[in-house]
Amino acid sequence: MRGDMVLAWSPDEEILEQAECGGAVTSLLKFALESKRVDAVLAIKARDGNRYDGVPALIANPEEVINTAGALHCVSPNIARCLKEYLDGAFDVKIAVTCRPCDARAIIELAKRNQIEMENLILVGLNCTGTLHPVTAKQMLREEFGVDPDDVIREDIEDGKLTIGLKDGTEIEKDLAELEEKGYGRRENCRRCEVGIPRMADIACGKWGANGRKATFIEVCSQKGADFIEEAIQVGAINVEHPDSEAVETREAKDREAIDSARKWQEQDFVDLRGMSIEERFTYWTGQFSQCIKCFGCRDACPICYCLDCYLEADRGLVTEGQVPPDITFPIIRIMHVADSCVNCGQCQDACPAEIPLARLVHMLNRELGAVFKYEPGMDVSAPPPLGTVTEEELDMAGVGISLS
Amino acid sequence: MSTGFEPKIIGFLCRWCSYPGADLAGTSRIKYSPNMIPIRVMCSGRVDPSFVIKALNDGADGVLIAGCHPPTDCHYQSGNIKAMRRYPLLMRMLEQFGIEKERVRLEWISASEGPKFAQVVEEMSDTIRQLGPLGWRKDAVE
């Protein structure tokens, strides 16, 4: 039933050893394949064992799922785009997808635009408090932790601390906020993210609430998720027990802390932009965008950008062909088209070779528009994007006045 | 203080209400600042925010979007409401980029509101004359 919670762990010793928590996610993915509920599983794998090179892996053989066990915090692949572009939106294949909240939200936004077939997906949501850029992570490990990045076998972000585990068994812990003040730590948009528990997926899995035990706390978030978990329990794919109220409370408390921290970061990231005067803003952004080389990386990476006939291409007449850096129209148009539905995945800023703070700008606009449109992107597949819809109330009202406050 | 600057305003006028409204201002021989260049679109809902940006980028100092009165007058039922929804997005965007809010305006002007049309254009021309040229691009079309 939706809202049900269980503490789960894998019955398989090998999975349990490699797992981040209880190995339940790995076992569930295996079960999904073995029971033929899905044709394949889409998860992240460390390519050639390199923790800083995490790639989406499509797996059809249940025995190979174990290669994706364990959380990789130093990578941030674009799962939603991968599904849409390389797996044809899952229209003709059933897939179980492991997804962070931003991935799940992006998938839902694409589903609203008929780019992904959610009926064919099982969204195995993963709790997330943020990931790191591989390059920043490696630099941080060398300079702040004083270790060789290749010696790291696990990372953990908990209670404001970043802890790394090395091959030789030692652990080093550092204060996350301090690291982030120095420019290390999590990706910028991750720091601002308030959505740590992917309740918009079918199940939400994580370590909050496991309270030190090697178990995965699973919250059932949809009927599909409920059926999936029930069957998995019945055939013994995972072992479960009911979490006590302390576990549930701990989880809630950690979520609240994460949200508080995210809001502080939002304020911090946006305060400079909001505080600028009109002239300063103009100078700032024209300066930033004068570094744009029109690589289209932002557009190609953004999960919301799905148009086959993009407005930004030269043949649409809005952007001048062959002009680099492009007019400021180029980034402005792109941002305006996605701002109402931005899920703060940060892929645009990651993709930008000129390191323009794109995600910061769009996320800030999206937060303000969320209040105007009363719309949260990526949460409910049945809530249509605001710019393309009209409500009954609007059709009934008279004397329309627009307030921008 | 007159510097001789005359603003250039692009007006996206909807074919069913606002454009005839503008025509009425003309046939009624109402005098108003000749600073607006009309572009007829079938519906105010046709106006993508990128049109406004392109207009400003290409040398316009202001943009007017005019359509039929919501909720009932739109020839296509709800195109004007969609224009209305795009407006906060557009305005916040412009605000972020340092473009004064007064340069872009969304108005509802019906076919019988000739005087209103003239008044809106007069007001906008006046406001933008005070604000000065946008000067967004140095090589903008004259």
Tell me, what's the ipTM?
A: 0.84
pLDDT: is A234 or A400 the higher one? A234
List residues in chain B touching A: CB distance below 8 A: 48-50, 53-54, 57, 69-71, 77-78, 81-82, 84-93, 95-101, 106, 108, 136-137
Has residue A68 got a pLDDT over 50? yes
A401: Cβ contacts below 8 Å, ≥ 6 apart: none
What whole-number distance in Å separates Cα of residue A222 and Cα of residue A230? 12
* Mean local confidence (pLDDT), A133-149: 93
pLDDT computed for residue A121 by the predictor: 96
Contact B52, B90 (CB under 8 A): yes
Has residue A314 got a pLDDT over 90? no
pLDDT computed for residue B2 by the predictor: 55
* Mean local confidence (pLDDT), A63-73: 91
* Mean local confidence (pLDDT), A120-136: 94
Judge: B81–A390 Cβ closer than 8 Å, yes or no: yes
DSSP-assigned states of every residue in A138-159: HHHIIIII-S-GGGEEEEEEET
For chain A, which residues make up each domain, given as ranges?
A: 5-131+186-257, 276-396
CA distance B21 to chain A (A): 19
Has residue B142 got a pLDDT over 50? no
Alpha helix (H) ranges present in A170-214? 176-181, 188-192
Of A336, A390, A397, the CB nearest to B90: A336
Of B50, B57, B77, the CB nearest to A311: B50
* Mean local confidence (pLDDT), A87-110: 95
pLDDT: is A387 or A174 the higher one? A174
* Mean local confidence (pLDDT), B122-135: 92
* Segment among A32-36, A314-318, B58-62 with least mean pLDDT: A314-318
DSSP-assigned states of every residue in B56-113: HHTT-SEEEEEEPPTTT--TTSSHHHHHHHHHHHHHHHHHHTT--GGGEEEEE--TT-
Has residue B140 got a pLDDT over 50? no
CA of A289: which chain B residue's CA is closest?
B97
Has residue A393 got a pLDDT over 90? no
* Segment among A229-233, A330-334, B137-141 with least mean pLDDT: B137-141
Percent of residues, chain A, with pLDDT higher than 70:
97
For the sheet containing B104-108, what is the strand order? B36-41, B9-14, B62-67, B104-108
Average of per-residue pLDDT values in chain A: 91
Judge: A402–B84 Cβ closer than 8 Å, yes or no: yes
pLDDT computed for residue A397 by the predictor: 64
- Confidence grade of residue A387 (pLDDT, cut at 50, 70, 90): confident
* Segment among A144-153, A361-370, A381-390, B114-123 with least mean pLDDT: A381-390
CA distance A283 to chain B (A): 8
* Mean local confidence (pLDDT), B82-99: 88
- Confidence grade of residue A405 (pLDDT, cut at 50, 70, 90): very low
* Mean local confidence (pLDDT), A275-291: 88
- Confidence grade of residue A137 (pLDDT, cut at 50, 70, 90): very high
Percent of residues, chain B, with pLDDT higher than 70:
94
Percent of residues, chain A, with pLDDT higher than 90:
71
The domain defined by B9-131 carries CATH number 3.40.50.960: yes
Amino acid at A129: T
pLDDT computed for residue A115 by the predictor: 93
What whole-number distance in Å separates Cα of residue B24 and Cα of residue A364? 43
Has residue A394 got a pLDDT over 80? no
- Neighbour-count burial of B64, counting CB atoms closer than 10 A to its CB (0-12 exposed, 13-18 middle, 19+ buried): buried
Tokens 């090697």 map to which residue? A214
Of A281, A282, A395, the CB nearest to B71: A395
* Segment among A227-241, A247-261, B86-100, B118-132 with least mean pLDDT: B86-100
pLDDT digits (tens, 9 = 90+) for A158-207: 888 999 999 999 999 999 999 998 989 899 999 999 999 999 999 999 99
pLDDT computed for residue A280 by the predictor: 87
pLDDT computed for residue B4 by the predictor: 82
Of A327, A373, A387, the CB nearest to B82: A387
pLDDT computed for residue A401 by the predictor: 57
Has residue B3 got a pLDDT over 70? no
pLDDT computed for residue A329 by the predictor: 87
Has residue B38 got a pLDDT over 80? yes
Residues of A in contact with B85 (CB under 8 A): 373, 386-387, 390
Q: What are the CA-CA distances from residue A137 to residues A143, A170, B37, B38 (Å)?
A: 10, 18, 55, 55
Please state the pTM of the whole predicted model.
Answer: 0.91
For the sheet containing A121-126, what is the strand order? A54-59, A40-46, A95-99, A121-126, A203-206, A216-220, A5-9, A239-241
- Confidence grade of residue A399 (pLDDT, cut at 50, 70, 90): low
